[in-house]
Structure 1
Amino acid sequence: MKLRRQRLLIVSVVFAILFVLGSIPAFAAEDAIPSIQVNAVLERDGSAVITEIWDVRGVSSGTEYYKALNNMDGMRVHSLLVRDESGTQYKTLSSWDTDLTLLEKAGTCGILEKSDGYELCWGIGSYGNHQYTIQYTIEGLVKDYGDYAGFYHQFISELSSAPESAVIDIRLADVRLTEENSRIWGYGFPGEVEIGRDGVLHAFSSDALSGGNYVNVLCRFEKDLFPLAPKANVSFEELQESAEKSNSGIGLFVFAISAGGVVFVVLLAAFLAVLFSARYKLADGTVVKLPKQKEMEITWSIPFGGSIPAIYFAMALLRRKISCPRLMGAYLIRWQEARYISIEERVVNPGIKKAKKEEVIVFASEKAPLQGAERTLYQILVGGADRDGVLWTSDIEESAQELYEKLTGWAEDVQEDGQKELIESGAAATDEKGVVRFTDSGFKQAVRILGLQKYLAGMRKQNKDRPAPRELWRDYLVVAALFDTGEQVLESMQALDPAYFDTFSSIYGCNAYSMIYFMTMTNHISNASAPSMDGTGGVASSIGGGGFSGGGGGGSR
């Protein structure tokens, strides 16, 4: 029995690796996909008629576009229709041959059935700019989970080019969707979800998607809205728990085969996806590739002069977006050092017995950042402070939705500042299409960010005979805050040089004992700016768990 389980696990691992490799997009055959709009009309029997509009720019190779729909157990996909920007309706073929030429595929579309799902395919037609409208039907998308009806579906997966804008609209054919009968959650992308006043559920990006982003949507409905939906073998609570489970490093995926009742638990390395999406086009048209993690050269130096906007924009060009809370946290570290603020713990309602303590930002009345996006952030935060100049974490949480909208706009300003810095320094330039990309020297500097990140991750293990200059520790802490490793880096600093660590801590108004707690408080405050979701609307989670239908990649090939 034990041997049989081992064999099943090995087979599962092989299957999972092949699944991941099959879902990884090829290097882009177009300059960009500016936008994808999805409109899903749900029917009472649980089926959905889905219409997608793909804007693509600068198609220069390949013969077809495709959209994979994997994990479609108990569902059927049919009735594919495609038209282009001219309004020309493509001929739907009964079968699809991926080996046909560009000319042979022009003006045609078809569904390719595979062992793990479906691929919706259509001919590119001609190279250049296009707008494709595709429509198809999924039977069994919405299921009856006993307590509620609902679905968890990946509408947009990793494509040959990450969309700059994504909009998903979900409606019921003859009933308005409201807070009384529905809920919506989003995962895997920078953006928000909401129950609209128009009776439609909306999910939309607030920033360009990057490599590794996807759009997963979880919806819950009162079950009487879908009286004919097929029954699921789990509850909605279990489905939601599956969606909420995530791990930023290694994913734990559970593949359940209901016919045999066999469950395979498979451990997948996330770097498999990164390995095949690490190519970048430079401003001069050449293509470069990131070194593998093991081959990444460790560096102690601070890239881009330690400029937060420059590092933020460089990471965006590397398709490794830094979240608003992390960006805000880096500035809070700088401000504590400059004495613009003091991050403390204060008692709430001190006159009450057993009064609770809470993290606060105390603003210095005589000092403040003077210009740019840094000044904007200061004004946003100080605007929420009380008359004593104190901003309480609870106040941040209460106004998180409004605050996050302001921070999203502020982060765009930081990115613009960073773009300007990189262009002025020669680290970035516009290509012939007007797209801002790294220059060769800029890409090398960006790689050094990752080399520094690698150094910080193993800082405690570095050779003590060749320590990094201590004057760099302040910049190290800011960079660590951007990557959410501040507490780990402080612990490494303390282990490497306990004597200097006390001096270093005093720069921030702390001692060796309170310094790490200062970093913890900073993280709590910055994390409070991201609103939680109860399903009625809010910010999408950056990562979602397994159990969704759809997905599998797509784009040009």
Structure 2
Amino acid sequence: MYKSQIKIISVIIIALFGFILFSQDLEANSMPSLDYSIELQHDGSGIVTEKRQMHLTEGTEVYIVFDQLEGSEITDVFVSDYDEPFTYQENWDINASREAKTGKYSLIPTDEGYEISWGIGEYGDHEYTVRYTISGMVRQLKDGQSMLWRLFQGRNNLPPKKFSITVTGPKYFDPELTKIWGFGYDGEIYLEDGQLVSWSNQPLTGRNHITVYMQFLDQPFQPTLSWDQTLAEQNHQALENNSYQNEDDTTDIVAVILLCSFLGIGVLIVILASIYTAKRNKAIRAANPLITGIKRTEMNEGKVYREIPYSEGNILDVAYLLQEHGKGDMEAYFNAFLLKWLKEGYIVQLNTNEANGDKLKLTVQLLDSNTPELEQQFFDILLSAADRYGVVDTSDVTRWAEKNYDKITELKASLPYESKRTLIDRGYLYNEDVYFLGNFRAEVTKSSYQGEDLYNRLIQFENYLNELLSLDRVNLQQQNINEDIIIWASLYNLVEPFVEKFQEVEPAYFVTHHFNYSNIYLLSLYSSGFSSGYDQAVTSHQTSMGSGGTTSFGGGGGSFGGGGGGVR
């Protein structure tokens, strides 16, 4: 709550200063809107059409800079104003008068690439259409194809108040085989009706750029240019690198002025926040909160619990405690449920002979109606990924996880929340309010005697699993290891080393149980595929929504194009 209050105060102060500093129009020239239409061709070239609504009161020409082409060429330039075509001029004189440049344009080779320049004409409002072809917009990579192109660079340019982008191809872009990102601006980017669409949510400034990144997994083009990178390497560079942030920018002067203005207020806020945090933490420590993490591990060092640590309900009930211990993540729970459903007969391993070899699949059946809701949601992952015959393989699960990132995120958030609520309802945990600095309040999670015992059993059971992994064959054969122990081992991410140990020293174990080495290994592929699909989607979404959504202010490193320019 205190963070929100501080933020509100800070925003009000900044807004007041901003209103004073920026209430005047600092730029005479302006660009109300900029619209890009890019038609990608089969050879990887692109026909780009820019529509620029501009209000101009000074200067003689507008120009666009292409200085990062890396082998691409600019051809077939066309310029018009209010649909009146301009005339191409071979030898462009940058120092010519505005009158001499009126109605004319040129493509100017430079040491770094090209410039497209055209005369402003009369001062006032204009609707310029600029069309040109860029070869090699789509590049052939080592393992795929991509377009990573900077269309507009805000630094020393005339940033548009709003813009839009449309990208089409020789055929519709398949959402499952085309990944998209937008960098450098606050906006949205999506695939709609087989084409990319993007737009801005805020006016651009000198600190912005417009960079579009597309990966084509189905390789639908025959590019004339290649780039010595894999998709993963280019992806890492585009998502992580942000050389733009390191560039000098005249608008940084404004940031420095604001920083100096707010420095005193900022110091005061930091001091107050530090006092608040220190008092809050002191009050929480004094209330003896639930001990978690390393301290809980140290409390149980050398102690083992050789039974299932929780049998009063579903394994989901203890997710909160396990996650406070760094265990019981989504992949672990998915793997544990796969083993549980295999044991209970809800999923059955199939062998199918196909042209590409023996392929392992699962046949999915329906769970009982009294199954807990969260477990049913895990099971629905298999049902949704399965075909109409109820058959699902690992690649189906991976694709489903990547495509349904939002559903998994909701389920992931529900795990600790619902678990904690269950533990409170059953008397293992409870919340207590503590007060500090007068009427400020903090909520503390504490454990009852039963809760302490349960949490300690969970830690000691992990110690037991690690103890089993250290036993030799003779001692391991003396242990009574049932299938529930293997299921629980999944929650601690120990099922694979556990099963490998059994396969090595006691292979006969798998003859007399529902589980065998091959199907345990197979189910681990399902859970790891589920996790990898989700993680890939998380990376894309957190950075810039690779499958569509909100764009990123940073990123776009390694892009081609340029996009600089302005009015001069």
TM-score, normalised to structure 1, is: 0.49
